[in-house]
Amino acid sequence: MKGIQKLQNKWGVGPGQFWLIILTFALGGSLSGRLCSKILNLLFLEKNWAFWLVYPLILTILWPFSVIFVSFFTGQFRFFKGYLGRVGGRLLGLGGEGKVGVTAVGAFAAPSTASAAPVHIAIFASGAGSNARKIIEYFEEGGARANAGSKGSGTLSTTAVPIKVSLIVSNVPGAGVLEIAKEKGIPTLMIKKDKFAATGYVESLHNAEIQFIVLAGFLWKVPEVLVRAYQPGMKIDGSNINGEANVSKGIINIHPALLPKYGGKGMYGSRVHEAVIAAGEKESGITIHWVNEHYDEGGIIYQATCAITPSDTPETLANKIHALEHAHFAPTIERVLS
């Protein structure tokens, strides 16, 4: 039982999915064995030394195709696509270490060349998901270039890299963000606190081909195991994408205040706005920053501000902050990924 639990934690799956994966392995192995025997029976009149010499080679070639075929019927195609990609990459030794630079406040990387394959991002959210919706729809519409073209104004994007929200991760059953994911046809992953702390669900994220993680109103602390796995430049597997190593591009968060003030454990939502107003601040804003092992202490990527008037309440300030989040979060993600 300990071995089973260890595999479940490594793959980041529950008991039901675990047994479907094991079933897929078994049926795929059986199918590849039968196909291999039929093929070799056509080539050899008897099972001599040559038959047994060729058998493991043909079986090895047929096995991944058989497993992928079976995975369609067991509903585990996404898992095995990622799993076989990583295993194949490790065996072939493909790819090298990539580097992604950290961006200073308000500054972004230089333009990059166009890519055929999109950057797959996961959005982690605990609540209604208004930021998640804005991000999803921004990239559905083609990002800054498409928005500038359709509105006749705005600044063109510095990147031609396509970006796709490929997974929504939540820790709250029934959260509004899950309804948004359903509406948009985006896969979801429900996570449990003990497993998240132990594994970070890294295997599940890799299986979903996630390269970049966005925290949009996610209330749990990100465990060190996930922070380490998604440091910019860390290998996701041994494969190449658009001629470059498949590496993670980091984890970012949005905070509803101007860090380093009003951050840290317990500072989220209305608590932040109440503290800002109680302190008599004349302005507040948003901070988009890299995520490390500590609450709200990662390097700052971008900040935007709004004025606080004497008549402002935590509720009216929250509305100003939401407007800034909706206006700046998705374009900042796009520019970071350039």
Query: Which CATH number is 125's domain given?
Result: 3.40.50.170
Tokens of 239: 């494969």
Whether residues 145 and 257 fall in one domain? yes
User: Given this model, what pLDDT does residue 287 score?
Assistant: 95
Whether residues 204 and 271 fall in one domain? yes
3-state helix, strand, coil in the chain (%, to 5): 50, 15, 35
Total domains in the fold of the chain: 2
Q: What is the 3-state secondary structure (H, E, C) of 227-261?
A: HHHCCCCCEEEEEEECCEEEECCCEEEEECCCCCC
Q: What angle do CA 165, 82, 117 make, to 5 degrees?
A: 45
Residue 173: other Cβ atoms inside 10 A: 7
User: Given this model, what pLDDT does residue 102 score?
Assistant: 32
Domain range for 186 is 101-338
Whether residues 72 and 25 fall in one domain? yes
The catalytic site residues sit at 255
Question: At which of 27, 62, 92 does a domain end?
Answer: 92
Handedness of CA 84, 89, 95, 100 (dihedral sign): positive
Q: How far apart are CA 336 and CA 117, in angstroms?
A: 17
Whether residues 190 and 51 fall in one domain? no
Whether residues 87 and 149 fall in one domain? no
Place of tokens 């009216």: 316
Whether residues 11 and 85 fall in one domain? yes
Question: At which of 59, 92, 125 does a domain end?
Answer: 92
Whether residues 85 and 112 fall in one domain? no
- Residues 6+ away with beta carbon under 8 Å from 66: 28, 29, 31, 32, 35
Ranges of beta strands (E only) in 115-220 are 119-124, 163-170, 188-190, 212-215
Q: How far apart are CA 239 and CA 226, in angstroms?
A: 20
| 106 secondary structure, DSSP code | T
Strand order in the sheet with 212-215: 188-190, 163-170, 119-124, 212-215, 251-255, 283-290, 300-307
Whether residues 230 and 127 fall in one domain? yes
Q: How far apart are CA 232 and CA 247, in angstroms?
A: 7
- Residues 6+ away with beta carbon under 8 Å from 194: none
Whether residues 168 and 256 fall in one domain? yes
Q: How far apart are CA 173 and CA 81, in angstroms?
A: 27
Whether residues 21 and 161 fall in one domain? no
- The C-alpha R_g of the chain, in whole angstroms, comes to 24
User: Given this model, what pLDDT does residue 85 score?
Assistant: 65
User: Given this model, what pLDDT does residue 195 score?
Assistant: 94
3-state SS assignment for residue 290: strand
* pLDDT averaged over 10-residue windows placed end to end, the chain, 338 residues: 63 72 91 87 77 84 89 83 65 38 36 61 94 94 60 40 91 94 93 93 90 94 92 77 76 93 86 94 94 88 94 94 95 91
Question: At which of 60, 92, 124 does a domain end?
Answer: 92
Whether residues 181 and 124 fall in one domain? yes
Q: Beta strands 188-190 and 283-290: pairing type? A: unpaired
